[in-house]
Structures are given as C-alpha cells and as structure tokens.
Chain A
Amino acid sequence: MSVVLLVEGLSVHFRTTLGVVKAVDGLSFAIGEGETVAIVGESGSGKSTVALAALRLIPDPPGKVAGGRILFDGQDILTLPDAAIRAVRGRRIAMIFQDPMMALNPVYTVGRQIGEVLRLHLGLSKREVMAEVVELLRLVGVPAPEDRARQYPHNLSGGMRQRVMIAMALACRPKLLIADEPTTALDVTVQAQVLDLIQSLKDKLGMAVLLITHDLGIVAETAHRVIVMYAGRKVEEGSVARIFKDPRHPYTQGLLEAAKWEETEGALLREIPGVVPSPFDMPKGCSFAPRCFAALPRCQQEAPALQEIAPQRPVACFVAQGMRT
C-alpha cells in the first residue's frame, strides 16, 4: 500500500500575547491509499490544527509551522509555491468542515458554490459545470438536485448542507479527504446518514480519509487506524481493533471508559479527572501525568517518547512501556 500523506515531526506554533502555544508538537503519522485514519482527542489537543496544516491553511500570523514535513504524494506541502498549493487544495486534497452553515457563503446558491471547485480546477464551461453539479448532488443523495442547486444555504437543512459540503469536496475526485468533525453539528439521526455517505463514497472513489473527531463511536465504525492526540502530541497509535480491545495509554483507556458509559445503562460517567493543561503552563514531565491514575514519580520529571510496545503500536507512556513483555 503506497503512502498518500506522510507527516514527519510536524510542529505548529501560535504566537499569542501570553507566549508561544505549541498546538502540535513533533507529530508523525502516515495515511495509505484508500485508508481511513482517525485522529482523536479532546478540545485543544491540536487535532484540527493538523487538518489545517495538511492544506497549509494555518492562519499566519499568529500561527506558524515551526518544523517538520508534510509529504503528499511525495511533494512537500509546506514548501510548494503558492500556485502549486492552490492546485492541490480542493482538487487532490479536499476538506469538509464541522459546521456546514458557516462553511457556505450565504450570498450564493449552493450550486454556484459547488461549481466554483469545478471552475477553478477543471476549467469546465458553464453548462458542463451545471450538469456536473447536479450529478454531484445526486451522488451525495440530495433529492431534486436541479432545484436544490438553485437554492441558498439558508434554504437547506443541516444535513443537506453537509451533503452539499461533501459534494463540493468530492467534485474533483480527491485522493485525500480531510473531514474535521464532519458530524458534530448535525442531529444524531443525520450523523449516521452522513457517515454512511462518506464511507460509501470513499469506497466508490478509492480515496484516503483523515477523520478528525472526538467521537469514538464514529471512529469504531469508520476508521482503520487511530491516532490518539493529547496536548499537541501523539500518545498512542494502532489499528481500530487493537486500540479498542487493548488500549495501552492511560489516556486512551480513560477515553474508552468514558465512551462506554453511553452503552451501560445506569452507570456513572467515568470521566478523566481534570482538564487539558494550559498551553502556557505545560507540566514538566508527561503532559498527561497530572490527570493520570497510573502516574509514576518518573512521569512528573521527564516526558516519555513514543516507543513501539508491539508491532505498529507506538505508545508514549512509561507505564505502558514498562508493561511490555
């Protein structure tokens, strides 16, 4: 399986009046062709920043990619000339956003907005664009696509709008789809439909998907591999099956415990105590140590590096690494 996206040692910093925030700190991962990789973590773990960095969309200022490489199909996204990166955006890497209401321009019809992608990248004529837009809307399951194409974002429901976003993202048959919390703003019933849609289109078009989410239920249903992020770093990675069956990092274990609560009736929510540390006041050792039930004295002093405790299972935790047999 060839690698579509390769991220190596990515660091993204934000300069603020209070100091520099390391939103992403030395993150490495790879996505293979046709593979779905999920990045999970709490708010503030840096997962959305990774999504933006992959398209070189980090707002600068205040943000800046402080180090690392992002190779897409062998090209370094971070050093491409502006015109070349624009040719990648929307055509070879597409992105869906969390809130489909906010991500559409209120003054244009949805048909026109989907058409923008085709116009920018494929140079189709007006008539061809319109025909393709209707075709795309049909593909993502929008009923009466000819009529819908002429409507404005505020005429559509949340689920319809997210379908429009997906149609826009798929317009040029991208190799990689980045979905940043694609279902968070939707009703539960619509969530499942949208996920099924992404899943089936992914199989149909053979694209890779980078799924950014905090919802482990979605991960279990759709992803092949999981990357768990905490405070800007990868703390654990593995196949979905392994991560769910045998989580090694105490943070992953906590996340899964909290997620299980929904299934167990009458049980108390087992939350992870505390909150993500302030980016201005990071603990000296492991960033999770203050909230960790298994923390050792060593955890307070030095940060654990990622180490493979089993094939394809890197974990950044002294406790988990010590358990290796």
Chain B
Amino acid sequence: MSFLRAFWLRFRNNRAAVGGAAVLALVVLLALIGPFIYPTDPFDMVGRPFMAPFGRYPLGTDVAGRDILAGILHGGRVSLLIGVMATLAATVVGVTVGALAGYYGGRIDDVLMRSTEFFLTIPSFVLAVVLVAIFSPTVVNITIAIAVVSWPSVARLARGEFITHRDRDYVLGCRAIGMPDWEIIVLQILPNALPPVIVVASLMVATAILTESGLSFLGLGDPNVVSWGYMIGVARTVLRVAWWMAAIPGAMILLTVLAINLVGEGLNDALNPRLKQR
C-alpha cells in the first residue's frame, strides 16, 4: 500500500501529531484493558470518603467513598465510546446528506441544506440538553443526541467537496461509460472527498467527549455508568476541600481532547491536497 506509506511519511513530519497519537493510544489502551487489570467496580463504596490520592487507593476516593482510579478507567471507556460512536453516526448522516445535496444540486440541495441550517441555528449544546432531557439519559440516547447536534457541519463540508468534484472530467467520464449515480457518488467521488471529512471527524470526537462531559456534569449523564464528566459533576460541590476529585478526571479529558486535536491537525497536514504538492 504505497498510499498508506506516503501518508505515514507525511504524518510523521508533524512531531506534535505523533506525540498526540502516542498519548491517545495510551488512553485508549487504558480504557480497553484498565478494567481488567484493575477490576474494582467504580460504584462500590470501597472506603472512607474524601481519601487523598497516593494513600490506600492510588487516586483516593470520592464523596461517596468510591475508588477514583476505577472511575477513571471505566469512565474512559464510556467517554471514548460515546465520542467515537456519536462521531461515526454524525459522519455517516452528514456525508450522506452532503453528498446528495452536493451531487444533485437544485431542489434536493435546497431542501437538504435548509434543514441542515435549521439545526445549525440552534445552539448545539442546548439542543443536546433538551434531547437528553426529553428522552431519558442512557448511553444510547446521549450518543444519538450528540450525533444529532454534530452532523450539520459534516454535511456542509461534504456538500462543498461534492460540488467541487461533481463537475470534474473524471465524473463526466464515469457518466459517459454508463455508471449509475450511486456508484459515482459512493465509489468514485467519496474516496476523493473523504480526506477533509476525516480531519473534521477526528476533531469531532474531541468535541463529542466534551459535550458528553458537559451533559454528565449537569447531571444528564447515564446514571448507570461512570463517565469522566459525571465524576467532575459529583466533585463540583466539594471543589474547595477536595480539588483533586475534579482535577483528575478533568486532566484526563484535557489530555484526551488535546491528543485527539493534535492527531486531527496531523491528519489535516497529511491529507490536505494542497500540502501534498510540497
């Protein structure tokens, strides 16, 4: 695969992106295997509340005496899962809408883009809060809510890409050999339109994690699972006596989001067609 190798050579040039990728890999690894090597249930009251870190429990206990390290490891799973799944859903919907609008243009474009703008005019976090409040806060509903507020920007980007590609000669060539529209959209234009979408999607994972944290912080997280945002929300009231309780999950969010952003920037450099010329 010469394409993948060329991609890696360009990606490697960006030191920050490689560092971000390493941090991200570590976080993902912790979330994947952490609960197995540290099997404490994050909801178990294992000891006295308000225990400081580096005591009997590596990261101390929270207001209810629950192990914070267990919360970080299990919470990472939930945060990453929601971030990735919401982004995937938003990307699939956004690319579909954008592709149809951009390729066909005309009335289809008008209808699809007006509905997209309708979503864009509503502050996304407020809409997510409303959606989760209406449909009980479960992991699935939270993921859907985040996807619902995230897809419009992907749709606009994908539409722009499809508009620049649909009039290229290679598309005309495909039509001239009798290729049906869906094949042109999915197999011919999509691979060309995808790089900028991948970049935006990678950054969207970070936004989705932040949105989930925000929802949990406001008490709109799934009550049956621990997430980093939920942990911060719990620690909020005791911030002045036990700052670490909020700072530890906060640092995890910061680290993860920063790492994802660095990787996204790196992807942008490696996939951006204008920089390819260098």
**A86: chain B residues within 8 A (beta carbon):** 178-180
Binds B, one of A104-112, A131-139, A290-298, A309-317: A104-112
Return the chain B residue nearest A99 by Cβ. Answer: B169
Bound form: Cα–Cα A103–B177 in Å: 12
Inter-subunit contact B169/A97 (CB<8 Å): yes
Residues in chain B near residue A210, CB distance under 8 A: none
Q: How large is the interface on A (under 10, 10 to 19, 20 to 34, 35 or more residues)?
A: 20 to 34
- A60's nearest neighbour on chain B, judged by CB, is B106
A61 at the interface (CB under 8 A from B): yes
Binary interface profile of B, 188-227, with partner A (CB < 8 Å = 1, else 0)?
Answer: 1001100000000000000000000000000000000000
Partner of A102 from the list B169, B175, B177, B188 (CB cut-off 8 Å) is: B169
Chain B facing A: main interface SS: helix
Find out whether the CB atom of A55 lies under 8 angstroms from the CB atom of B176: yes
A100 to chain B, nearest CB (A): 9
| CB of B170 closer than 8 Å to a CB of A | yes
Once the chains bind, are B176 and A104 in contact (CB under 8 Å)?
no
Given the interface contacts A61-B105, A61-B106, A105-B192, does A89 sit within 8 Å of B172 by beta carbon? no
In the bound complex, what is the Cα–Cα distance between A102 and B168 (angstroms)? 7
Residues of chain B within 8 A (CB-CB) of A165 are: 173
Contact of A89 among B106, B176, B191, B192 (CB under 8 A): B176
Chain A residues within an 8 Å CB radius of B180: 86
As a 0/1 sequence over residues 86 to 127 of chain A, the CB contacts with chain B under 8 angstroms (1 = contact) are: 111111001101110011111100000000110011000000
A57 within 8 A of B: yes
In the complex with contacts A61-B105, A97-B172, A103-B169, A87-B178 CB distance below 8 A: yes
Does B32 reach chain A (CB closer than 8 Å)? no
Contact of A103 among B105, B167, B172, B178 (CB under 8 A): B172
Identity of the chain A residue whose Cβ is nearest the Cβ of B175 in the assembled complex: A57
Q: Please tell me if A176 contacts chain B, counting CB pairs below 8 Å.
A: no
| Residues A103 and B175 in contact, CB atoms below 8 Å apart | no
Known A103-B170, A104-B170: A57·B176 in contact at CB below 8 Å = yes
- A143 proximal to B (CB < 8 A): no
Q: Is the CB of B192 within 8 A of A116?
A: no
Chain A residues contacting B170 (CB-CB under 8 Å) are: 102-106
Q: A59-B167, A105-B188, A107-B191 are in contact. Are A97 and B178 (CB under 8 A)?
A: no
Of the listed residues B175, B180, B188, the one surrounded by the most CB atoms of chain A closer than 10 A to its CB is B175
Binary per-residue interface labels of chain A (235-275) against chain B in the complex, 1 for a CB within 8 Å, 0 otherwise = 00000000000000000000000000000000000000000
Where the two chains meet, the residues of B that have a C-beta atom closer than 8 Å to any C-beta of A are 105-106, 167-170, 172-180, 188, 191-192
Report whether B192 and A107 are in contact in the complex, using a CB–CB cutoff of 8 Å: yes
Least CB separation from A153: chain B residue: B170
Which A residues fall within an 8 A CB radius of B? 55, 57, 59, 61, 85-91, 94-95, 97-99, 102-107, 116-117, 120-121, 165, 168
Give CA–CA (A105, B167) in the complex, Å: 13
Kindly provide the distance from the CB of B219 to the nearest chain A CB, expressed in whole angstroms.
47
Check B176–A106 contact: CB distance below 8 A: no
Q: Which residues of A contact B174 (CB under 8 A)?
A: 105, 116
Q: For the complex, what is the distance from the CA of A103 to the CA of B168, rounded to whole Å?
A: 8
Contact B188 A120 (CB under 8 A): no
CA gap between A12 and B80 in the complex, in Å: 55
CA gap between A85 and B178 in the complex, in Å:
7
Task: Add 10 more A-B contacts to A86-B178, A90-B177, A107-B192 (CB < 8 A).
Answer: A86-B180, A89-B176, A97-B169, A99-B169, A102-B168, A102-B169, A102-B170, A104-B170, A120-B178, A168-B173
Within the complex, the shortest CB–CB distance from B3 to chain A, in Å, comes to 8
Kindly state the separation between the CA atoms of A94 and B170 in the bound complex, as whole angstroms.
14
Q: How far is the CB of A56 from chain B (nearest CB, A)?
A: 9
Cross-chain contact of B176 among A87, A95, A102, A121 (Cβ < 8 A): A95
Complex CA gap A123/B63 in Å reads 68
Verify B106–A97 contact, CB threshold 8 A.
Answer: no
State the 7 A-B residue pairs at the shortest beta-carbon distance, nearest first. Answer: A90-B177, A89-B178, A102-B169, A86-B178, A103-B169, A90-B178, A103-B173
Distance, CA A105 to CA B173, complexed state (A): 9
Q: Which residue of B lies closest to A85 (CB)?
A: B178
Q: Closest approach, in angstroms, between the C-beta of B43 and any C-beta of chain A?
A: 49
- For the complex, give the distance between the alpha carbons of A99 and B170 in Å: 10
The answer for the CA separation of A202 and B22 in the assembled complex, in Å, is: 59
Report yes or no: B178 in contact with A88, Cβ–Cβ below 8 A: yes
